Amino acid sequence: MSKIEILKRLFKSYTSKFIGKILLAGLFSIIVAASTSATAWLLDPAIEKIFLNKDQTLIILIPIAIIIAFSAKGLSLYFAKLLMINVSEEVRKMLQTDMLKSFIKADTEVIENKHSGKYISNLNYDVSHVTILLSDALLVLFKDSLTLIGLLIVMFSQNWKLSLIALIMIPFATITSKTLSKRMSKVTTEAQEKSGDLNKYLIDLFKNHKIIKIFQRENFEEIRSEKFVNDLKEKSAKIGAVFIRSTPVMEILTGIMIATLIFYSGKLIISGELGINNFFSFLAAMMLAYQPVKSLAKVNVGIGQGLAGATRVLPIIDSKNEINLNEHAEKLKILNGDIIFDNLSFSYKSNKENRVLQNISTRFIGGEMTALVGHSGSGKSTLLNMIPRIYIPTSGNIYVDNQDISKINLVSLRNEISIVDQNTTLFDDTVFNNILYARPDANKEDIFKAAKLSVSDEFINNLENGYETMIGENGVKLSGGEKQRLSIARAFLKDSKIILLDEATSSLDSETEDKIQKALDKLTVDKTTIVIAHRLSTILNSDNIYVVDNGKIIDSGKHDDLLNNSKIYRNFYQRQIKQN
């Protein structure tokens, strides 16, 4: 989007909602401009009537008028800024809310293609610059433009020749502002990258803290952390340096201008063309004009930063999901629970040349358990994630009871699917709420039953606060087996017709595994179950087994048949025997 398009979009979606407050801030800005101009103008009658003509009648009135002008300016400026602070925080909230909604609804592949630290930087760093653009920059632009216009009127009313000399500063300030704005946009983008890098590192640091301790890499990480912090510091310092670069230019221009004005004013006063009162009123107006000119010279820099941030924020908010919710489509009707893959292939967008799944055509019989076996990286988990449309095929189709899942209501599809993943994901919340997440309308009895069926109640009752125990970030206070049992409890609570198990017992000891296996047997009765299996017990209990290799299903059948006819399966099975 162009700069104009970005500004239009920001106004339409965000600032227009607060147009009343913005207009009121504008009214206060007019008062600021008028009172500032009045202060400079009042010096003319003050000097002429009081100091030159020694008029006693105005010796009280003019000082009172000056006090009123300054008071009006101060109060109006306060209220204008207060209004725009409220607007900016509302806009920040809206932007961050829209971004979070976009993150929540985004396709999983989109989220996985970018480190979460970068998204956090977009959410905080970039949004801050956009809100500054929509609040501070907007107020400065309006307030200081009006103030400058008012002061110029005072200056021209005193002497037009001197005013023309003073106007020379404005084009120089404009050129300086434009140059700095371009530079600022580039530096802000670089700083955002470094902010994202620091966030990435911070997340990795917390996530891998135990590994750092085990491998004694504290010194290495200290050096790395210093580099990330220093890189951001360098870019932030560069932003500050660019931002104040206009200061020496403006000061030099102002010095030259004042010297020129004093020289020329002296000649005009000597010749009688200019009165002392007019000169001091003009000089006051010109000195007061210095601040708005300086602010306006810098406002372009703030606008440049805000636009640079908006170019990164708005595409996230506007991103369209490739996976369609199909909200108005027909809902899935489960009959037998048959799942058919029809010539299905898949490649990640980040690596389209590498086909993770290749021309898979197969059937998972409803109400039965099908095992997927194969080496790590063969495509088993990706195949599983195709069914709830976490990923969508590059080509081919998937049918559930002859219903093309790409054309049915997505919510109705996912309502019928439960996944128990080897990488258990939990929230920093209570045990109760983590189980409840699977079905928010469940009652306490449902939660307790799911916990009992998944053999979770054994460890839950031993926790300090039982079901109300906070489990920490991603369940850090629980063991791997305990976390996995909570994940299985969710599946029990949801009670869906299709069960997808991705190494559901991989983190359990033998005793717990036996209990869980019995629980899973109950969970999967008369349900379409697809399980990625390394455990022998799971393989042997399956109604059918598919051997996956390099994104293809190369063999299928019962255990005994595969043992006799499939070399890859036989090797896989023998390795499992050795491991057990």
Backbone φ, ψ for residue 356 (5° rounding): -75, -40
Looking at 258, 292, 318, the residue that finishes a domain is: 318
pLDDT higher than threshold 70 for residue 246: no
Q: Which residue has the higher pLDDT, 542 or 243?
A: 542
Buried b (16+ CB within 10 A) or exposed e, 195-229: bbbbbbbeebeeeeeeeeeeeeeeeeeeeeeeebe
pLDDT, tens only, 53-92: 776 767 778 788 888 988 998 999 899 988 988 888 898 8
Boundary of a domain, candidates 471, 495, 519:
495
Q: What pLDDT is recorded for position 545?
A: 92
Question: Residue holding tokens 């147009």?
Answer: 19
Over the stretch 324-336, which tens digit does the pLDDT of each residue have? 889 899 999 998 9
In a domain, 566, yes or no: no
Strands 498-502 and 528-532: parallel
Q: What is the CATH number of the domain that holds 285?
A: 1.20.1560.10
Give percent of the chain above pLDDT 90.
Answer: 23
Q: Are residues 306 and 438 in the same domain?
A: no
Q: Where are the alpha helices (DSSP H) in 339-479?
A: 380-386, 410-415, 431-436, 444-453, 457-460
Identify whether 40 is part of a domain: no
Top-confidence range, 118-132, 403-417, 494-508: 403-417
pLDDT(169) > 70: no
CA atoms within 13 A on the CB side of 392: 12
Q: At residue 402, what are phi and psi to the nearest 5 degrees? A: 65, 15
CB 453 within 8 A of CB 485: no
Please tell me whether the overall predicted TM-score, pTM, comes out greater than 0.85 for this model: no
Max Cα separation, the chain? 120
433 and 305 part of one domain: no
DSSP annotation of 422: S
Residue 69, domain member (yes or no): no
7 with 126, same domain?
yes
In the listed set 275, 303, 318, which residue is the last one of a domain according to the structure?
Answer: 318
The reported pLDDT for the residue numbered 388 is 92
Residue 229 within a domain = yes
The alpha carbon of 552 is separated from its chain's Cα centroid by a whole number of angstroms, namely 37
pLDDT at 289: 78
Phi, psi of 364 (to 5 degrees): -105, 115
What tokens appear for 192 in the block?
A: 């955002």
Domain hosting residue 123, numbered range: 3-17+86-141+158-318
CATH assignment of the domain containing 473: 3.40.50.300
